[in-house]
Amino acid sequence: MSLSPRFIAFVLAFLISAITTSFLTFVQDVTRSMLFVTCVSSFVGSFFLVLYTIEIIVYREVNKMYRTIHKLKLKDFNISRKVLIRESNPLKRLNDEIFVYVAKKQKEIEELKKLEQFRREFLADVSHELKTPIFAAQGFIHTLIDGAIDDEKVRDRFLKKAAKSLDGLDALVKDLVTLSQMETGAIKMNLDRVNLRVLTEDILDRLEKIAQDRNVTLKIKPDKLTEVWVKADAMRIEQVMINLIENAIKYNNDGGKVIIHFDEDKKSYAVSVRDNGPGIPPEHLTRIFERFYRVEKSRSKERGGTGLGLAIVKHILNGHGSTIAVKSQVEKGTTFTFKLEKTDEF
């Protein structure tokens, strides 16, 4: 049964006239025609009065809705959802529901716009990063073809440079493929039992040369924790550790320190890679995990980075059901931390 304003007015007017007329029957000397007139006039009077009142209320609420929509346009989202749901008036609730619905839609639209912007930036970054090594290799090869090939010294130097550019291009494309495969879920983590301590010592041996060149010392702490058994994909976790330690060396000051720290708790190990380098300004901290994001484009580039390392780190750790956190203080240093589940199984 629909509760239209006319129906409500009709029922109420009927009740009012019935009550009025029945009271009137108790009064002495009341004639039938008097009762009839009272019945009709009270019915008609109440019907229009009630209808008018409802219309005014509805009108007011509709106006409120318009105002709500207007407010939404002005991005005024100050009302909490809890307050909205407590409301008992159906019209007000409808108004509130519209508010919540429109707010949600607006948020979705904003997210889509952000994604679109992100996609555009990504495409521009990829083309730029691909273009640089291709142009370099192309330049060397054309110079060789144009005659430089006859000079033995120049030939070797140019060929080496062209090969280096192409190696860089190869590494970049591999990183991009890994990232997109991880994003689409094509790569599954091959979880196994890994001694993270041994794996880290092995990485330090390999990175010692770069560290020495930059006068950076590498250390694992605490000494007593010789076995750090975690459930992880050994190859991927190695990639994570290499990137974090390599960053800590690359972006450190000359003569700086890098400490890899393992911390044991009931169910997991917390791993942190700390350096005492120049740190990352707070406005960049949330963005360093984005693809191609570099804090200082020129300096990172000069140290051979493409800005994909931390994006890969984040995806690998997510694949392990973990997350990466970063804390940094300018001029003091940076610490990256993540947790991995302990394991004793064989």
Ligand X SMILES: Nc1ncnc2c1ncn2[C@@H]1O[C@H](COP(=O)(O)OP(=O)(O)OP(=O)(O)O)[C@@H](O)[C@H]1O
Q: Which is nearer to Mg ion, 278 or 309 (CB)?
A: 309
By CB neighbour count within 10 A (0-12 exposed, 13-18 middle, 19+ buried), where does 328 fall? buried
Binding of ligand X by 178 (CB under 6 A): no
* Residue window 226-255: x/- pattern of binding to ligand X, with contact defined by CB under 6 A: -----------------x---xx--x----
Nearest-approach distance from CB 135 to Mg ion, in angstroms: 23
Which residue in the set 189, 196, 216, 310 belongs to the binding site for ligand X (CB under 6 A)? 310
Residue range at the interface with ligand X (CB under 6 A); choices 15-23, 39-47, 53-61, 309-317:
309-317
- Strands 217-221 vs 268-275: parallel, antiparallel or unpaired: unpaired
Nearest-approach distance from CB 286 to ligand X, in angstroms: 12
Helix/strand/coil for 196: helix
Neighbours of 154 (CB within 10 A): 15
Distance CA 172, CA 183 (A): 17
Nearest-approach distance from CB 185 to ligand X, in angstroms: 21
Q: Which of 293, 251, 245 is closest to 271 using CA atoms?
A: 245
* Residue window 286-325: x/- pattern of binding to Mg ion, with contact defined by CB under 5 A: -----------------------x----------------
Binding of ligand X by 165 (CB under 6 A): no
Q: Which is nearer to ligand X, 304 or 321 (CB)?
A: 304
CA atoms within 13 A on the CB side of 158: 19
Distance CA 26, CA 3 (A): 34
Tokens representing 14? 């009927």
What does 256 bind: Mg ion, ligand X, none (CB cut-off 5 to 8 Å by kind)? Answer: none
Q: Which is nearer to ligand X, 95 or 333 (CB)?
A: 333
Largest CA distance in the chain: 134
Q: Which of residues 313-342 bind ligand X (CB under 6 A)?
A: 334
- Strands 257-264 vs 217-221: parallel, antiparallel or unpaired: parallel
Q: Which of 141, 137, 131 is closest to 165 using CA atoms?
A: 137
C-beta of residue 337 within 8 angstroms of C-beta of residue 269: no
Nearest-approach distance from CB 277 to Mg ion, in angstroms: 13
Which residue in the set 140, 307, 317, 339 belongs to the binding site for ligand X (CB under 6 A)? 307
Q: Which is nearer to ligand X, 47 or 256 (CB)?
A: 256
C-beta of residue 53 within 8 angstroms of C-beta of residue 61: no
By the criterion CB under 6 A, which residues form the site for ligand X? 243, 247-248, 251, 275, 277, 280, 288, 293-296, 300, 305-311, 334
By the criterion CB under 5 A, which residues form the site for Mg ion? 243, 247, 309
